[in-house]
Amino acid sequence: MNKIIKSLLLMTLFVLSVSAFAAQYTEGEQYTKVNDSLTKKKEVREYFSVYCGHCFKFEPIMHGLKKSLPEDASFERNHIDFLPGVSTTTQKMVTKATVVANQLGDTDKLIGALFNYIHVQRAVITSEKDIRNIFVLNGADGETFDKLMKSFSVSSKAKSLKKYQENMTAKRVLTGVPTVIVNGKYKIDATKLDKNNFEQDYQNLVKYLLELDS
């Protein structure tokens, strides 16, 4: 009986919080619709690039967001390959490396190491060997890295990320990074969030959009 009561109380609090967010967030202000349909499962997809300085500064916000998500929502990192000043070939190689980082189970640390290499050390990635060295220095096994970079699963996932990128680019939704889209339908406009309480406001907006179905 106590469990039932607790569940009902949690449901009531959840409904109240969603209602409060509804009064706080408005389509066309803090978010816009970019698709007609929702993804089958709840997800937050961040389009980013390790070559993007703003993405680098945004990393702590994304780490906090990832930790704040409900258990039934996933956080997907979608590396893109269209930034100027860097060869598309190199950017695609980095995209594969972000997939490898995820499969190695240390996504935040390894992608963080790539960001650090480019924006803190001011170094240049010129080959797969450079990425391998970065990963190994941050705890990854070199042989496992080599196998994964050549694997069908990593190549397939990288192609899937490319399709997401192309789809949103074709719709003129993805024009720069970082861009965050919730449930494949709602694009966040971070410029309209509370600058004095930015991170919490961002998390609250995402939680609201995860439950939005219209």
Q: What tens-digit pLDDT sequence spans the chain (214 residues)?
A: 565 555 555 555 545 555 556 668 999 999 999 999 999 999 999 999 999 999 999 999 999 999 999 999 999 999 999 999 999 999 999 999 999 999 999 999 999 999 999 999 999 999 999 999 999 999 999 999 999 999 999 999 999 999 999 999 999 999 999 999 999 999 999 999 999 999 999 999 999 999 998 7
Asked whether residue 70 is assigned to any structural domain, the reply reads: yes
CA distances from 93 to 3, 98, 129, 155, 203 (A): 50, 9, 11, 10, 31
Q: Is residue 3 part of a domain?
A: no
Return d(Cα 149, Cα 95) in angstroms, integer.
10
- Residue type present at position 3: K
Residue 11 counted as domain residue: no
* Number of separate domains in the chain: 1
> Which residues fall within 8 angstroms of residue 134, CB to CB, at 6 or more apart?
110, 113, 114, 117
Q: Domain residues for 30?
A: 26-211
Predicted TM-score (pTM) of the model is 0.89
Instruction: Say if 200 falls within a structural domain.
Output: yes
Domain presence at residue 67: yes
Is 21 domain-assigned? no
Q: How far is CA 199 from CA 63, 68, 192, 213, in A?
A: 11, 11, 12, 24
Look at residue 170 and tell me if it is in a domain: yes
- Contact between residue 48 and residue 78 where contact means Cβ atoms under 8 Å apart: yes
CATH number at residue 174: 3.40.30.10
Residue 19 lies in a domain: no
